[in-house]
Structure 1
Amino acid sequence: MSKPMHLCNHPGCMALIPFDQRYCDKHEYRKPISCADKEQRHLMNKATYYKRTHSKHEGKYQHFYRSTQWRKLSHHWLMVHPFCARCEAQGIMRKGDLVDHIIEIRDDWSKRLDTDNLQTLCYACHNRKTWKQKQIRHKRRERQPDSSQR
């Protein structure tokens, strides 16, 4: 006797799957994440953030992030804005872990203490945003002609 079948839980998907599964193979990524997995992912994102901010190659940026001025401002910001801005924009209420500069201080040092340039992010959103910004910066450098050849 075969298992009873039902439609995949992904909206609009008409794939028939066994009754004890929630999603077809195509939509398996939508499977709910257990609390243990969420905690593990959070710890991994936190470790990535910590590794980047406490590297051997400290510059003025890491020194700024350890300054009293920044610590006080970011602490106050988190008290007033406790939720991750990117998650909240998607309708997810997730606690923010850190204060992020919308325009990175590498791109505009003068905006490092500008409250109009701040947002609260969770570690995952911050790591994603930082990775994308790094890719953009890298592509920008590749497109610029080498000034030493002039």
Structure 2
Amino acid sequence: MSKPMHLCNHPGCMTLIPYDQRYCEKHEYRKPIDQADSKERHRINKATYRRRITSKHEGKYQRFYRSTAWKKLSHHWLMMHPLCVSCEARGIYRKGDLVDHITELRDDWSKRLDPGNLQTLCYACHNRKTWREKRKRQKHNKK
């Protein structure tokens, strides 16, 4: 009896391979490099996000993120929208790690539980977006 087959895990590759392998021969070289780097980048981005989200200077924003209302809404949102919208816009299908406010809470507190103001992002995209917003706010405050 032959082994069950599945598609190669490389994005867009349609090569059938045995079920106990992850990549076809053409893409096997990518496995050790990409998988290790990807996991390390994800770990670093997650740590950056956790450090920011648990810092003491945040006050009411962190209390909000620990609230039952937010936890329920964000959990439901992730179940309904599992992919990172920023990566997906670039043609990459990556699992989203968290729910982000499109308009930040600092800019409009009233939109904190508005489903129209939510999007799913991976840690890397979220950290990038937060950094851009913070720089934009700093430039605005200097004027």
TM range (shorter): 0.7 to 0.9
Provide the residue aligned with 1:56 in structure 2: 56
TM-score (norm. length: structure 1): 0.73
Deviation per CA, 1:87-143: give whole Å up to 9, x if none.
Answer: 001110000000000000110000000000000000000000000000000000000
Say what the alpha-carbon RMSD is for the aligned residues.
1.2
Distance 1:60 1:34 in 2: 39
Matches within 5 A, 1:1-150: 34-143=34-143
Higher Rg: 1
- One-letter amino acid of the counterpart of residue 109, structure 1: W
- One-letter amino acid of the counterpart of residue 118, structure 1: L
Count of aligned positions: 112
Task: Give the ranges of 4+ consecutive aligned residues of structure 1 lying more than 3 Å apart after TM superposition.
Answer: none
- One-letter amino acid of the counterpart of residue 113, structure 1: L
- One-letter amino acid of the counterpart of residue 139, structure 1: K
Distance 1:95 1:58 in 2: 27
TM-score (norm. length: structure 2): 0.76
